[in-house]
Amino acid sequence: MCAEACPVSLLPQQLLWYSQAEDHERLEAHNLFDCIECGACSYVCPSNIPLVQHYRSSKSDIKKAQEEKVKSTQARERFEFRKQRIELAEKEREAKRAARREAAKQAQASTGTDAMADIVAAAQARAAAKTTSPEQELAKLQRAVSSAEMRVEKAQVKLDSALENAEPTEKINILSAALSGAQQKLEKAKVRLAEHSN
């Protein structure tokens, strides 16, 4: 009777079985989401089974499960990305350590004052290269201020978005702390720039 009454030609009885068994795959295969919740099947049901309530509950469960799946996929992707980043950073550090070991080995291998003089001269050259003119220093400090401002803006956007989406308090606190930290760094950068300009 329910199948005959259904205006979208669904099989309400089968849908009820799968709903009770929480068999989401079969529910979707039997086009649960085509149900318009008109209530015709419940109306003609001689056993007065509240069919529509079962369908509504199953739809909600399926949507929740899909959302959870999306969230867990995103979390896994974030985890994988972070892992790759850490591995890459570790490889770079190892490469630098290896380069330093090699340089130290070569330095040990070379004997005599000439070799030592070369090392000292190279160190002096590196130190000289590091010294910057006042103009370069000023540009560097200005860049530091701009980048600190950008970080503050980004932190503010993240916090606003979290507040707008009513994210958990713990996350809001973390984002607030991040914003506060970014603001402090910006202040410091500005102070350094002002000191240099004076």
CB of 44 to ligand SF4, least distance (A): 8
Shorter beta-carbon distance to ligand SF4: residue 51 or 179: 51
Shorter beta-carbon distance to ligand SF4: residue 59 or 190: 59
DSSP H helices, 21-133, are 24-29, 40-44, 51-109, 112-130
For every residue of 66-90, DSSP letters joined together read: HHHHHHHHHHHHHHHHHHHHHHHHH
CB within 8 A of 142, min separation 6: which ones?
193
Shorter beta-carbon distance to ligand SF4: residue 16 or 182: 16
Contacting residues toward ligand SF4, per CB under 6 A: 5-8, 10, 12, 35-41, 51-52
CB of 13 to ligand SF4, least distance (A): 10
CB of 18 to ligand SF4, least distance (A): 12
CB of 22 to ligand SF4, least distance (A): 18
